[in-house]
């Protein structure tokens, strides 16, 4: 079945540091890929997405590129801020799976940015 593996946390960075959170996936077909962010006490918010190979999703300074050859969708940001502290989830949606486009999530990576 489909699965998502993402970088174990927690990750602690200083403000303005470079961020990478690794994400790799296994899927039957050609999934769409997502990064969601969860701030403390809140639900998940869609951060960015990519629906086909070589697409780059971007939002709020975050970027991720859909790499079919390495089955990866790593999240990057050039300069993190304290306000970026949150839990980040990589997810996929596989139209060829048995669950009609539902999301399969990685385990989440806790990011803490120190001033």
Partner 1 sequence: NAGVTQTPKFQVLKTGQSMTLQCAQDMNHEYMSWYRQDPGMGLRLIHYSVGAGITDQGEVPNGYNVSRSTTEDFPLRLLSAAPSQTSVYFCASSSRDSNYGYTFGSGTRLTVV
Smallest distance, partner 1 to C-beta of residue 36, A:
8
Q: Which residues of the shown chain bind partner 1 in the complex (CB under 8 A)?
A: 4, 32, 34, 36, 41-46, 49, 51, 89, 93, 99-108
Q: Which is nearer to partner 1, 80 or 92 (CB)?
A: 92
Query: What is the phi/psi pair of residue 31, to 5°?
Result: -75, 165
- CA 48 to each of CA 74, 84, 114: distance values in angstroms, whole numbers, following the listed order: 12, 14, 24
Smallest distance, partner 1 to C-beta of residue 48, A:
10
Q: Which is nearer to partner 1, 10 or 115 (CB)?
A: 10
Q: Which is nearer to partner 1, 49 or 77 (CB)?
A: 49
């Amino acid at each position: 079945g489909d699965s998502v593996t993402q970088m174990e946390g927690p990750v602690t960075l200083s403000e303005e540091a470079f961020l990478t959170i690794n994400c790799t996936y296994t899927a039957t077909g050609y999934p769409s890929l997502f990064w969601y962010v969860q701030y403390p006490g809140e639900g998940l918010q869609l951060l960015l997405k990519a629906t086909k190979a070589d697409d780059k999703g971007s939002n709020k300074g975050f970027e991720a590129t859909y790499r079919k050859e390495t089955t990866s969708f790593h999240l990057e940001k050039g300069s993190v801020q304290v306000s970026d502290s949150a839990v980040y989830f990589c997810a996929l949606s596989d139209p060829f799976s048995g669950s009609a486009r539902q999301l399969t999530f990685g385990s989440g990576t806790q990011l803490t940015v120190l001033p």
